Structure 1
Amino acid sequence: MVGKKSGRALMREEGLERTDNNMETTSWPQVAPINQKNYYTEFMKREDQYLAFRTQEEEARNRMIQEARDKDRALALGVQPGTVNVNDEGVAEETTASVATKEAYLSKLIIIHPGSQNLRIGLGTDALPKTVPMVIARKWKESESEEDGGEPKPKRLKVDGIVPAAANPEKWFGEDFANQYQAMCSELRTRMRGNKRRVLPNSKELVINFNRRTPYDEITEHNDMNRIEWTELPSNPKHAPEYFTGQAALRIPEVSNPRYKLFWPIRNGMVNEKDYRDRSQIYHDISKIFEEAFKRELGISRLKDLVNYKCVFLIPDLYERKYVEMMLDILIRDLGVGKVCLQQESLSATFGAGYSISCIVDIGAQKTSICCVDEGLCIEESRINLKMGGADISETFVKMMLYDHFPYAEINLKRRYDYLLAEELKQKYCSMDEGDVTVKAAEFHLRAAGQDTRLYHFKTYDETMLSVMGLFKPSIFEQSSKLEGRRTVIPRSVDLYDGSPNDPISSAQLVVIEAAGGKTASVNGTQESTTSLAVNSTPSRTQQFNLLSRLKDENELTPRSSVAGSPGPEGTPNPDRDTPLGDSDQPLIFRDPVLEKTKQAEERDKVVPIMPLDHAILESLSQGARGDDRKMRDFFGGIMLVGGGSKTPALLSFLETRLRELRPFYGKEILVGPPPRDFDPQVVAWKGGSVFGRLSPSGNDSWVNQEEYEKLGARILVHKCMFPW
């Protein structure tokens, strides 16, 4: 019997014993396994791992080195650094060197505030900006007034293909406009009688009869003291420039050779996709307008010099990401500006006015924005963007005057000189003062290229007030063409990871869209109405508090039953899940959240956000206060109207009266005022951008330089913007 062998003997006999020759099995380094119970990583957890912070630290270090060199240079020249000059009155004064340094810094600072109608641009050393029309005229086969068969604006309705005769202007704009106009006239007469105003019963007839029978007078060119200098074109059409910008574009004759067409890159506060078919054309038109403004208004003749300049660029409060990215790309990559900083318009307006808490109402040419600002931040849920403004008032004013037999019945707002004429008449005669609603005689000069000047006499009555009243009754405005071409040229911005729409939206804007779409929505400032509308917005803290107050009453010791319903029996499908529960015969339902968000965004893009101005302000205030009564009273006492539309006489007092009628229990706190220190309301936002740009470079980390933008693109805005990007 063979004895039992050990395992080592078996390994040796079978040839399985391991023999070690002290050589490594591989030349690759072997990493010891980590203890998974206690391990961590520092990836993207330190500021020095972000390019934005590293660049900022490098700039601060270079600044300290430069200051040290300047100090040594001053000591070498025998000047004691750090000394402060004191005048005879004991007041400290800046030294000549510090003043020169500040002037040099401000002379390299550019502030740009673009709008749908005007571009305001200037240097940090300027007290007021230069105003340039935001338009470019390019060679085209026909002018804008000759397109669509020469159809005028405002559009005259046709009956059986024929425009009604000039003797029947009441039928030009349809029954809907006529009914609304008559209703507004009746409401105004009733209101004036209630305010003890004298109302003549035959005022309309006096205006119509005078306008109908009064002819115009012709004035020869050499007798016209205020004749217009039109843009001159060379005799040879081949030598004509490819484009004109600014005021020169508006002064090109309508029948010029060659023809020129006006393009407005920004319409209604958005990129103009109606008149453009290519994104690159919009890009180049905006770039050319900025470039010409730099050359003519700021004296920067070479684009190479822009690398030494900084630019504060104002964007809308409720912005579109594609719009901001396009503007940033134009300034840095196309024009070569050294550094760019983005600032929201409402926040910039508070900087210009010197307010810490306010509700900014910006009435522009084609856009009205409302936003509550508190302690240097725009409250996100209070932002509202209405697609109406001074241009709608001008068009409605012309329609109302034509309805009352305006003597210049051929007026066409597509013609450049008629467009400028309508703006002049609106600024001269429109008012919200009921005392001005009387029969008044007026006149204007019609100046067209190649024609003698015409002097028209006409009378006005209530058109001067009812046209501005459209801000509070926006149904009188023409809304049909404001969304034409929407999303056909510029695609919607989507999230990089899941592809869902990521343009910012607010609870207040959702209420406006729901109300404009004809759905039930809150226009009286209640918080509960927005809970079902805030699809992509952050729920407010007030809604959470309201839910807690439902669960438990302060006066009761026993908490109430839960608002949530009891769970259903086993097997009942749950609509809040992607698939039904239990053994049901119903088919499985899979919901794609990205697709749902996309559909909701598409539905919102089909609605023109329009709401009466007073109701929109109340909705913005309610979302900005978030149920805090003290903050609501602070906002009511700090309503500030800015923008060109706010310059209408008596608009502030009228709006204040309307708000007090809607909120009588806040009557003492409601105060609507203009910007302080007699500032022009049109330039307050620009002035705030200038104030922000004057801040110390070491304390402002919002600048985006070329190196950062070239490496990261628009992603750098996450670390640079003062607002959530």
Structure 2
Amino acid sequence: MADSIKYPPKTIIIHQGSTILHIGLATDSEPKVLLNCIARKSARGCLGKIPEIVKLKPLISFDSELSEEILSSFKSSDDSAHVVLKDELHDIWIQGSSPNNSCSDSGTQFVPFIEGFKLCDGDTYELQWPILSGSFNNKFVITENVQSLADMWSYALTKYFNIPCDRFPKYSVLLVIDDIFIRREVRYTIDKLMKELKFSRFMVFPTSFLYMGGTGSLHNCCIVDLGFYKTTISCLANGLSLLDVRVNLPRGGSDCLQALRAALEYYSQESPELSELLTRYESGSYNDTFQLLTAMHTADSDMAMRLATESLNAVLSRDIAVKLGSGTLTLPASAIVKIHLSPFFPVDTAAEISLTPPPPLNPQYQVHPADAPEPDDPLDDYCSRKRKLPGDEETEETSIPKSSSSSKASSEPETLQKPSEFKDLAEAIAWSIRNATVAAAPISDPSESEALQQQQPTAANNPVEQPSAATDTRNEQLRQKIASCIVLVGGGAEGISGLLLKRVLTQKLQQLLGEDFRVNVFTRPQSIPDPAWQGARIAVSADFASELWISRKEWEQLGARTLREKGAFIW
């Protein structure tokens, strides 16, 4: 199918995350993958580090066995597994450590990507990460973050794609944003693209929609995006990401690296030489991060090799070799499992007897447009009232009769109770799926609602208020469809981590949702190396794309109103 699609030659795709930037042309089968940071000359210069988010430290017990629930999920499938390892961060560090990628202080005002990280070892440069956990890094003001993004995009397009800045007006841009976004930050980013970089036009897509298209998933599905700092859960109904049940959990690959550090410290106690390596570099620095990424990669590689001939349950009794510096440390396979699962299932990986309960997962939800602190067009309501003619619509007080409390309750839409914490990842996914029908109600097909209303019996020309069995059935069918297509994507869904999460989530979600649901959890198809990138290429080539492009002139005249009218998501 991909070979038959004609991709637009002058369309740029930008997909940025907290740590990784994917950028390239729609005609490219794969993007250029870069570290999403930039070193700037500054009086605040200091040692460059991976950003650290303050969290409660997970309580992992390496003395105790895996919980019976975890073990039973591994026993459910006794066959061997073919695991394909893909670690973009590790690959970036490998490329950055090659002699051909040496970087020196050339006197420039900024040095982006991995070269900039390597350069920040003194007092001259400050390393800036403009995106942190899906939104702008609050260590810097919003204009600094936007300028960092613009400098990195311009540098990448000029160096790797031979597109100088004066040719940007000849190109269109597809900007990929997180499903949970801050509207002001999106507006600032588009302003930079249109007014300063002067691209000809743009369109915006949420990540979940592109993953849905790139993986070939059904239009009713649940996309679980496992990133470096966070995990985003998005349920889609008829291809539209449901705003009210989007969930961000503050857990990701960085937590797995910290769990690995704890395991290395625990198992290297009898080897002073290896233990000393863990304190040689400052935590979060270039060399420290490279050491942890290498240790994780070697552990996963050894485990993947064993899984090619043995079942997961059998591999749990083996020891896994982990490279640490120039030496090798041996860890039990159960410890590797805990490293990958502990951020997402803290209760199952904590000590059985502990005075302190494991920290819960505190979610973040998408702010509804009506509750946004900065409305797009403050005069919209005023103008709409002024446009009404005297006979168009009466005021609320005179035209709507007061109804009884029972009829009011029946007419009001069901409201969502959003939890302040979840026990684990499975509980958050189950909540999102269960409440998908509440979020989907406002966007349901009005013709279906009208048909159902016409079918209801009437008495004295007044509809009889009865619960609609057809609506209940349709809601249950939507939940079942979403539960049958849960797709794990992102860096945390790759390799060993993806395999373990798939097994555990399948069993836990089946228990949480009940026997009426057929839970299917999928990971990335091996034939599609980057589903979001492929989904973006398909989107810019689709017939509907012509209706979604927003020109520079439209943006300058109407601003964010264009996103409300043309955006492929609920703005």
TM-score by length of 2: 0.69
Alignment correspondent of 2:247:
384
Question: Structure 2 CA distance, aligned partners of 1:723 and 1:496?
Answer: 18
Q: 1:248 aligns with which of 95, 115, 131?
A: 115
- Structure with more contact order per residue of length (Cα contacts < 8 Å, sep ≥ 6): 2
Shift of 1:444: 2.9
1:296 maps onto 2:159 in alignment: yes
Alignment correspondent of 2:224:
361
Matches within 5 A, 1:188-267: 188=66, 190=68, 228-229=99-100, 231-234=102-105, 240-252=107-119, 254-255=121-122, 259-267=124-132
Shift of 1:117: 0.8
Shift of 1:254: 2.5
Alignment correspondent of 1:412:
282
Aligned-pair Cα RMSD in Å: 4.0
Q: 2:8 aligns with which of 103, 106, 110?
A: 106
1:615 maps onto 2:427 in alignment: yes
Contact 1:386 1:611 in 2 (8 A): no
Contact 1:656 1:672 in 2 (8 A): yes
1:135 maps onto 2:37 in alignment: yes
Alignment length (residue pairs): 447
Residues 144-194 of structure 1: CA deviation (Å, up to 9, x unaligned): 5489xxx99799xxxxxxxxxxxxxxxxx9xx958x323x75351655777
Change (3 A) 1:305 1:351: same
Question: Structure 1 CA distance, aligned partners of 2:535 and 2:330?
Answer: 41
Tell me which moved more, 341-350 or 395-404: 395-404
Alignment correspondent of 2:237:
374
Alignment correspondent of 1:665:
515
Question: Structure 1 CA distance, aligned partners of 2:196 and 2:70?
Answer: 56
1:333 maps onto 2:195 in alignment: yes
Shift of 1:616: 0.9
1:493 maps onto 2:374 in alignment: yes
1:124 maps onto 2:26 in alignment: yes
Shift of 1:672: 0.3
Shift of 1:350: 1.1
Structure 2 SS opposite 1:106: coil
Higher helix share: 2
Residues 112-148 of structure 1: CA deviation (Å, up to 9, x unaligned): 111001011121111111111110012245665489x
Question: Structure 2 CA distance, aligned partners of 1:549 and 1:142?
Answer: 58
TM-score by length of 1: 0.55
Contact 2:363 2:421 in 1 (8 A): no
Contact 2:38 2:148 in 1 (8 A): yes
Matches within 5 A, 1:390-539: 390-405=253-268, 407=275, 408-410=277-279, 411-430=281-300, 433=312, 435-438=314-317, 440=319, 442-444=321-323, 446=325, 455-461=326-332, 462-473=334-345, 492-494=373-375, 496-497=377-378
Residues 259-293 of structure 1: CA deviation (Å, up to 9, x unaligned): 333211000111100x32x3322221111111112
Runs of 5+ consecutive residues of structure 1 not aligned to the other structure:
1-93, 156-172, 198-225, 447-454, 484-490, 501-543, 551-603
Runs of 5+ consecutive residues of structure 2 not aligned to the other structure:
76-96, 269-273, 305-311, 351-357, 365-371, 382-405, 413-417, 439-471
Name the aligned partner's letter for residue 130 of structure 2: P
Question: Structure 1 CA distance, aligned partners of 2:202 and 2:511?
Answer: 44
Residues 599-646 of structure 1: CA deviation (Å, up to 9, x unaligned): xxxxx9xx9976521111101111113462211111111111110100
Contact 1:154 1:413 in 2 (8 A): no
Contact 2:73 2:503 in 1 (8 A): no
Change (3 A) 1:333 1:436: farther
Change (3 A) 1:404 1:375: same
Question: Structure 2 CA distance, aligned partners of 1:296 and 1:482?
Answer: 39
Question: Structure 1 CA distance, aligned partners of 2:45 and 2:323?
Answer: 25
Contact 2:360 2:423 in 1 (8 A): no
Matches within 5 A, 1:643-662: 643-649=490-496, 650=499, 651-662=501-512
Contact 1:230 1:253 in 2 (8 A): no
Name the aligned partner's letter for residue 458 of structure 1: L
Structure with greater Cα Rg: 1
Question: Structure 2 CA distance, aligned partners of 1:233 and 1:263?
Answer: 18
Contact 2:150 2:192 in 1 (8 A): yes
Name the aligned partner's letter for residue 260 of structure 1: Y
Structure 2 SS opposite 1:724: coil
Contact 1:231 1:253 in 2 (8 A): no
Contact 1:387 1:610 in 2 (8 A): no
Q: 1:314 aligns with which of 157, 176, 181?
A: 176
Structure 2 SS opposite 1:188: coil
